[in-house]
Amino acid sequence: MSDVFIAHALRTPIGTAGKAFRDLTAADLGAAVLKELTRRLPADQIEDVVLGNCMGPGGNVARVAALTAGIANHVPAITVDRQCASGLAAIQLAAAAHADGGHGGSGATGVDSAATEGGFVLVGGVESASTAPWRFWPPVGEAEPVRYERAPFAPADRDPEMGLAADLLAELHGITRERQDEYAARSHERAAAAQVAGAFDDEIVPVGGQTIDERIRGGLTAQRLAKLPAVFRAGGTVTAGNSCGINDGAAVVALSHTGPGLKVLAAASAGVDPTTPGLGLVPAVQRVLKATGLTIEQIDVWEFNEAFAGQVLACCDVLGLPDERVCAQGGALALGHPWGASGAVLAVRLFSQLITQQSGRYGVAAIAAGGGQGTAILVEACR
């Protein structure tokens, strides 16, 4: 990939569904971050807006968010959907188009290439579980319409519920209940320590008076988590404590042709068997490592979306990556998982650690998605 940099990176606090952001739509949350980014950038250099979203009202959430934020009418916007990978996939697509420099990028991806020197593309993801509309299958004959919780990720015979899939994946890879609870407790411990130390302060845009992530629980232990029952199948190992929450939030980065910032060295998406969707990030990570020639040992900061402790641990084991190296300041088990925004949250976390806190040179963010997909980016800090 030619020179494409993440020059700025911000997010909202992550709220628990039905709490702090219960009355804010996905577009409202996205607009809050976009507005702050536009305050920091020359208005005439914003050339496109690309946002991922899973469960919003449809239409073009990115356009609504951009206009709500006061971005000029002539700046286009597009919404992308790769389910939980949407926020990171938006960055992948926009970075590829931006790198193309106007030689077919827009036609290949539907994203403006923003080739102007010094121009910015604002890219990320938004999600409001609190205000997601109810959806119904149309009635058949005289029957009532049937409400459904989510759209299909794959054909019905290969479309397991995410919690059950995570439980079966943990069993398949020999991930014990004890190991899952220890990992989840560590995520909260790390996030609580990072929150107290102010590690999240520079990346968070306060919204509605909320300035911190709601879900983090300092003092949560593996012993306390061990008391929780399995929730997805009898005799299972996945519980409410070693699973992510249901959350609201938004995260956006500004892509530019010039640094300083995080240079996007590689970005990739990949597919796996949809019955094991949690492994989707593995081939995506392998692709970005292969594209750059870097090894696992050379990556300083690893950010995986922690949808389920067992799922992250299985991915680490397959990759040969020590799990203690992942999410050094806590992950989605503690912070929360605002579906379409989560991949972009990972990119913001890379920026904070590699640029703001100067904690290394290379970083990888990766996320799995329903339907057996995954997306990853590999970045280099250029200060």
Cβ–Cβ under 8 Å, residues 97 and 107: no
Whole-angstrom distance, CA of residue 137 vs CA of residue 288: 39
Crossing angle (nearest 10°) for helices 61-68 and 26-40: 50
Choose, from 8, 188, 257, 337, the residue flagged as catalytic. 337
Q: Distance (Å, rounded) from C-alpha 19 to C-alpha 210?
A: 11
Side-chain-side CA neighbours of 367 within 13 Å: the count stands at 28
- Say how far apart CA 326 and CA 303 lie, in whole Å: 6
Residue with tokens 């593996």: 222
Q: Which is nearest to 9 in space by CA: 366, 369, 353?
A: 353
The one catalytic residue among 8, 54, 84, 327: 84
Contacts for 37-41 with beta carbons within 8 Å, 24 or more apart? 37/8, 37/10, 37/122, 37/252, 37/254, 38/69, 38/70, 38/71, 38/122, 40/8, 41/8, 41/120, 41/254
The answer to whether 8 is a known catalytic residue is no
Query: Active-site residue 84, yes or no?
Result: yes
Residues forming the active site:
84, 337
